[in-house]
């Protein structure tokens, strides 16, 4: 259940938690549960399937990179083209599924600014 633009209320084993969406690094599917990994290192287990979490966080900057992983695009620090993995800001590496690779690469390039370093032309002396 969404409370406002930046927080969600989720029932967990201890009751109902109010979680800031920006503090979620990734969400991992565990059977009929989802494990939320937060920036502060805390892990929250909720009784919602990953598809429901994906629908709940639609339009909030989360990308489904695998059938068992949903990641916060703002937490992606590196996309390894050769190993077909992404590296998160907390140095976790997660594989990207074959079917999602092209779409994820396109979306990440749309959302991220591209920086070019101008090359100086050398003139002969």
Beta strands in 1-125 (DSSP E): 7-12, 15-20, 24-30, 33-38, 43-46, 62-66, 69-72, 76-80, 85-88, 93-95
pLDDT digits (tens, 9 = 90+) for 72-89: 888 888 877 777 888 888
Residues 48 and 28: their CA atoms lie apart, in Å, by: 11
Domain topology for 7-110: OB fold (Dihydrolipoamide Acetyltransferase, E2P) (2.40.50)
Q: Where are the domains of the chain?
A: 7-110
Place of tokens 């406002």: 4
Asked whether the whole model's pTM tops 0.85, one would answer no
Segment-wise mean pLDDT, segments of 10 residues, the chain, 125 residues: 71 85 92 92 90 90 88 84 82 82 72 49 48
């Amino acid at each position: 259940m969404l409370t406002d633009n930046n927080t969600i209320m989720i029932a967990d084993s201890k009751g109902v938690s109010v979680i800031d969406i920006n503090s979620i690094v990734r969400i991992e599917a565990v059977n009929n549960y989802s494990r939320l990994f937060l920036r502060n290192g805390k892990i929250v287990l909720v009784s919602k399937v990953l598809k429901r979490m994906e629908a709940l966080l639609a339009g909030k900057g989360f990308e489904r990179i695998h059938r068992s992983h949903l990641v916060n695009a703002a937490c992606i620090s590196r996309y390894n083209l050769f190993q077909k993995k992404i590296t998160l800001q907390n140095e976790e590496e997660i594989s990207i599924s074959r079917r999602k690779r092209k779409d994820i690469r396109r979306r990440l390039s749309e959302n991220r600014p591209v920086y070019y370093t101008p090359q100086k032309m050398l003139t002969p002396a």
